[in-house]
Amino acid sequence: MKQDSYTVNSATECLAFARFVERLFGEHKYLTFSWRIGEKRSIDQNSLLHVWLTEYAAHLLDKDKKRVSRGELEGMKRHAKRMYYAETGQPWMVHEVVNPADPEQKKRDFTSSKDWKRGEMYHFLTWLQVTAAGDGLILESRGEYAELQRKEAA
């Protein structure tokens, strides 16, 4: 059985993972691991982000959301990231892009939402919902994001 990821969130899971690693090492004698700290963000949140950005762009452009172009959606993503970063200064929002052919050429750019952790995405979505409401647009909470909101309110 091939398993590409393993979630360790308890002492029992930690022991199970150690046994799993020992078994793999005994069989293959060479292993490489990478890890991520914190819960994974679900695709559901990323899908909701793109739905909301499309709705927000349509609202600002005064057009039907089905008529929002890829370029307009990309512009909305960058605008929202820029505004969020300006208000919060969250370090995970930006990274340094380096030209390998000329390492002296560097620039700061926004990170991709697909790389954000669940909590980071949650905070961004919350900010986006409040910001859109200030512009007269109500963004409906759905899916995992709505579930996380209910848990936080409890």
Of 141 and 98, the structure prediction assigns the larger pLDDT to 98
Per-residue pLDDT tens for 35-51? 666 665 555 888 899 99
Q: Which residues of 51-83 are buried (b: 16+ CB within 10 A; e: fewer)?
A: ebbbbbbbbbeeeeeeebeeebbebbbeebbee
In DSSP terms, which residues pair with 94 in a beta bridge? Answer: 110
The CA-CA-CA angle for residues 134, 45, 52, to 5°, reads 35
Please tell me whether the overall predicted TM-score, pTM, comes out greater than 0.85 for this model: no
Q: Is the pLDDT of residue 5 over 70?
A: no
Q: Is the pLDDT of residue 1 over 50?
A: no
Residue 36: predicted pLDDT: 65
Residue 11: predicted pLDDT: 85
Cβ neighbours of residue 29 closer than 8 Å, sequence gap 6 or more: none
Query: How crowded is the C-beta side of 131, counted as CA atoms within 13 Å?
Result: 21
Residue recorded with tokens 């380096």: 98
| Domains of the chain, residue spans | 1-35, 43-153
Please state, in angstroms and rounded to a whole number, the distance separating the CA atoms of residues 79 and 101. 29
Residue 38 DSSP class: S
